[in-house]
Amino acid sequence: MNQLLLVGRLTRPVEDRQVGDHRVVNNCLAVSRRHRDRNGELQTDFIPIVAWDYLADLLVKYAQKGHRIGVVGRMESRHYTNNQDQKVYILECHVQDITLLESKNGSAGKASGQNHSTPKGQEDYDAIRRQYEVPSQEQLDMRQLAGFKA
């Protein structure tokens, strides 16, 4: 099983780029450890994250440097050969789901558990997400029963 659950802060401005027909955001998540070092400072890991397509859209639209987000993803490794003819190995978290714990206006909104109405940003987030969802086999079967072509 290869599944990560991370909560941390984005370390760079959120910028996307086009790769073929896909949008991608590469960023880094600062994740604090639970224990402190000898000086009493919290230790922090900086984990590269990669978000594709609708997840990239969501980050660009709703997140910025310093925002706290939750990420579910899988760790992937890759390598390349640098100019000194050395192999460089990279570990990245490929994002499968995102929870925005702060909005661009700084409030936690729905994620705080204190706001029982759906914030406007959350409605937009849900709409973008639905746009990219693939119907389940059960949904396709129901459409066919109802006379729709899947």
**DSSP letters of 13-45?**
---EEEETTEEEEEEEEEEEEEEE-TTSPEEEE
The residue among 37 and 45 whose pLDDT is bigger is 45
- The highest-level CATH class for domain 4-145 is mainly beta
Tell whether pTM > 0.85.
Answer: no
Query: Which residues share a beta bridge with 6?
Result: 71
The rounded percent of the chain whose pLDDT value lies above 90 is: 60
Residue 97 pLDDT greater than 60, yes or no: yes
The residue among 45 and 109 whose pLDDT is bigger is 45
Q: Dihedral (C-alpha) 124, 125, 128, 130: value to the nearest 10 degrees?
A: -110
Supply the pLDDT for residue 34: 85
